[in-house]
Chain A
Amino acid sequence: MWYKLIELADWFGEMKERYQLVRDFNKAGKHAFISGIAPTLIEAKITRGDSNYRHEFSKFFGGGFRIKALSGKALSRSEIIELGRVILDNKSLVRKLVALGWDTLEVHDDTGYNGCKWPLKDHANLGGYLS
């Protein structure tokens, strides 16, 4: 019974960490936009994700980490891919995302209809730990 209680407390702690990461990401995006480093405002939110990209730590209804670029125009495919690749090349961030229960990285703009998504477990470089 105590073990279940600890698990429950862990679950709440994890949720807090997830929202903290999203909040920090949005704050950093806002800061970069306001200070003029970034020409577009970047915002992250939690989505359902793709069920094909699931791994053993995935959250049931919150496996997607969606990055929305508020550019005011439709981004080209190469721009979307470049944005996604920057996140995927940051190994520590990808590992943190995987550990906190995300399995899909989604990138899209605010006006266009196109977006890209990647399975995070393929980029976490875990040496076959997840399957």
Chain B
Amino acid sequence: MAIERSCQSRRVLKLIIMIAILEMNSKPVVTIYWKYSFFILLSYAILCTIVILRFRLKSNKTRHRQVLNEMKNQDVNLHEVMLDINNSKELYKILSRSCHPDKFINSEYHEEIVGLFKEISNNKRNYTKLLELKELASVRFNINF
């Protein structure tokens, strides 16, 4: 009995080895596509790049949109703009004449007046800011307009 069993197992083992050899010798089905592998890889790379670019562009778009919305939501007082258009020029002339640093050369406020004059020049066309500076000049430096 034991001899019969060992013979059977040998046969099975031989069969398995034969099948394995046959499998190794036979060409696998996948190898048919090996000559197209370059194109497959290329198309895969292109697809990946498109997906990555699309995501990056989308994120850029959302960033643009955020900036755009911030800019859109800025409050603009158009009545102040009208005041700037019509009154700022006159007020600037008055302020630049009366707060000119040359008028305060030997004064103790000379440095501060230079700063004030710079501020006036920077806000040449901003009527509300010029009004504030006028108030400051009259209170701080006793300048009469």
Q: Which residues of A contact B (CB under 8 A)?
A: 17, 21, 24-25, 27-29, 31-32, 37-39, 42, 57, 82-83, 85-87, 89-90, 92-93, 95-96, 98-100, 129
B125, A89: Cβ atoms closer than 8 Å: yes
Q: What is the CB-to-nearest-CB distance from B118 to chain A, in angstroms, rounded to a whole number? A: 16
Q: Which residues of B contact A (CB under 8 A)?
A: 67-68, 71-72, 74-76, 78-79, 81-89, 124-126
- Closest residue of A by beta carbon distance from B127: A86
The secondary structure that dominates the B interface is: helix
- Closest residue of B by beta carbon distance from A129: B67
Q: What is the CB-to-nearest-CB distance from A114 to chain B, in angstroms, rounded to a whole number? A: 18
A92, B85: Cβ atoms closer than 8 Å: no
A93, B76: Cβ atoms closer than 8 Å: yes
Q: What is the CB-to-nearest-CB distance from B129 to chain A, in angstroms, rounded to a whole number? A: 11
Which residue of A32, A99, A100 contacts B79 across the interface (Cβ within 8 Å)?
A32
A86, B87: Cβ atoms closer than 8 Å: no
Known: A38-B86, A85-B125. Is A28-B72 also a contact (CB below 8 A)?
Answer: no
A24, B78: Cβ atoms closer than 8 Å: yes
What are the residues of chain A within 8 A of B68 when measuring CB–CB?
A: 57, 99
What are the residues of chain B within 8 A of A93 when measuring CB–CB?
A: 76, 81
Please name 11 further chain A to chain B contacts, defined as beta carbons within 8 Å, in addition to the given A96-B71, A96-B76, A98-B71, sorted by A numbering. A17-B72, A24-B78, A27-B78, A28-B79, A32-B79, A37-B83, A86-B81, A89-B124, A90-B125, A90-B126, A92-B74
